[in-house]
Amino acid sequence: MIRFEHVSKRYADGTTAVDDLSFEVTAGELVTLVGPSGCGKTTTMKMVNRLIEPTSGRIYLDGEDISDIDPVRLRRRIGYVIQQVGLFPHKTVLENTATVPHLLGWKKGDSRKRAAELLDLVGLDPSVYGDRYPEQLSGGQRQRVGVARALAADPPVLLMDEPFGAVDPVVREHLQTEFLRLQQELHKTVLFVTHDIEEAVRLGDRIAVYGQGRIEQYDAPAAVLGAPATPYVADFVGSDRGLKRLSVTPIEEGDLEQPPVVRLEDPAESAAARMRAEEAGWAVVLDAAGHLHGWVGADHLTSGTVSDHARRMEAWLPVGASLKRAFSTMLQHDAGWIAVIDESGEGRFLGVLTPATLHEALRRSTAADARDISRAEVELESVSGV
């Protein structure tokens, strides 16, 4: 979809910003460009929409050399989101979002309708926010409008230059999650610049780790974390890369423990007897439909039915969620275990994840790399679902 062939950029003052760069982004792929300040990420990106022209080399979009495409036409095929969103202050949120359809000559009604759909898609209710002006929004909301605006004309390619860089970490994580959800729906071809390795790992199908003007490693997140290609990459991804792996390793059914399971309607005494037989101090409680209700301690089961004593359980996750989410859910709920649910299978309870099984899952993921299993076999499906 996007292909760089021996691309270099030297600025007039002699700075070599990008040096003989060759790489390819396939259609529907989200590639993060990560590296320290001044390593050439933004230059790379701006060459794709011809805001900057390369000194040498060629860039292809869908097989077409972009130097043969009129820049204005080219940019219609490419959405662009930057950190300082650049919304027009005197235009409403709806008008800002409708900018590109408007420029493309859409009818006013059509472009406003499209803008409203897009605002909805990025989590802003158009009836609440549509008539506001940018200064009446929070930083995170402004970034969402920026994303909606870039998507308005439905371009196949999105360039995003530190789009979430200016918001606080909590909002940032929220925006990342929403963007991943959006990307699962839209399958845009995305180049995403960040200097934050965590963000690169969380979002990227592949990561390009930049050194000075060059890509040091271009690989799937687990491979970059598990097998850094050079000492520079190892240093950049950090000594805590084991921890970072948490965000690219999904919970699998095989990781789960199977505690005793009782039903809400079970008589308390028989449930207690079963737990004693399994030497378990507690059991997971399911409702009549087999959905997770909560848990119950063996000591409480003195009379009546399980439902008289059961407590609700809020700490649960769908299978396939990342181990990082599992870990933070445990901390958030101060829970020694979390329930894992099969969301696609109507919320069927699958088992529980404990700190010990979480550790095992992390070792499984590291061992996969140590055995030099090819990237394709390291489970990465959930990278886009963390």
Ligand X SMILES: Nc1ncnc2c1ncn2[C@@H]1O[C@H](COP(=O)(O)OP(=O)(O)OP(=O)(O)O)[C@@H](O)[C@H]1O
Q: Kindly state the smallest distance separating residue 236's Cβ from ligand X, in Å.
A: 13
Residue 258 in contact with ligand X, rule: CB under 6 A? no
Residue 43 in contact with ligand X, rule: CB under 6 A? yes
Site string (326-355) toward ligand X, x via CB under 6 A: ------------------------------
Question: Which one, of 48, 38, 65, lies nearest residue 160 by Cα?
Answer: 48
Question: What are the structure tokens assigned to 46, written together?
Answer: 């701006």
Q: Kindly state the smallest distance separating residue 83's Cβ from ligand X, in Å.
A: 9
**Alpha carbons 126 and 37: distance in angstroms, whole number:** 37
Give the residue, chosen from 39, 200, 301, 319, that forms a contact with ligand X under the rule CB under 6 A: 39
Residue 41 in contact with ligand X, rule: CB under 6 A? yes
The DSSP bridge pattern shows strands 292-297 and 282-286 to be antiparallel
Q: Kindly state the smallest distance separating residue 13's Cβ from ligand X, in Å.
A: 5
The H-assigned helical ranges of 19-82 are 41-48, 71-76
Classified as helix, coil or strand, 379 is coil
Give backbone dihedrals phi and psi of 245, rounded to 5 degrees, phi first.
-60, -25
Give the residue, chosen from 3, 21, 32, 42, that forms a contact with ligand X under the rule CB under 6 A: 42
CA 365 to chain centre: 19
Classified as helix, coil or strand, 116 is helix
Site string (157-196) toward ligand X, x via CB under 6 A: --------------------------------------x-
Give the residue, chosen from 17, 74, 298, 335, that forms a contact with ligand X under the rule CB under 6 A: 17
Q: Which is nearer to ligand X, 13 or 279 (CB)?
A: 13
Interacting positions 191-250 with ligand X (CB under 6 A): 195
Q: Kindly state the smallest distance separating residue 32's Cβ from ligand X, in Å.
A: 13
Q: Which stretch binds ligand X (CB under 6 A): 36-44, 232-240, 320-328, 368-376?
A: 36-44
Please answer whether residues 255 and 326 qualify as being in contact, where contact means their C-beta atoms are separated by less than 8 angstroms: no
Please answer whether residues 110 and 101 qualify as being in contact, where contact means their C-beta atoms are separated by less than 8 angstroms: yes
**Alpha carbons 163 and 143: distance in angstroms, whole number:** 7
Tokens 């204005």, located at residue:
72
Q: Which is nearer to ligand X, 44 or 97 (CB)?
A: 44
Give the residue, chosen from 28, 38, 139, 156, that forms a contact with ligand X under the rule CB under 6 A: 38
Q: Kindly state the smallest distance separating residue 206's Cβ from ligand X, in Å.
A: 18
H helix count then E strand count, the chain: 15, 17
Q: Kindly state the smallest distance separating residue 50's Cβ from ligand X, in Å.
A: 15
Counting residues that bind ligand X (by CB under 6 A) gives 13
Residues 6+ away with beta carbon under 8 Å from 43? 9, 17, 18, 52
Give backbone dihedrals phi and psi of 3, rounded to 5 degrees, phi first.
-130, 125
Q: Which is nearer to ligand X, 37 or 258 (CB)?
A: 37
Question: What are the structure tokens assigned to 299, written together?
Answer: 């000591």
The DSSP bridge pattern shows strands 261-263 and 215-219 to be unpaired
Q: Which is nearer to ligand X, 10 or 91 (CB)?
A: 10
Residue 88 in contact with ligand X, rule: CB under 6 A? no
Q: Kindly state the smallest distance separating residue 57's Cβ from ligand X, in Å.
A: 15
Residues in touch with ligand X (CB under 6 A): 11, 13, 15, 17, 35, 37-43, 195
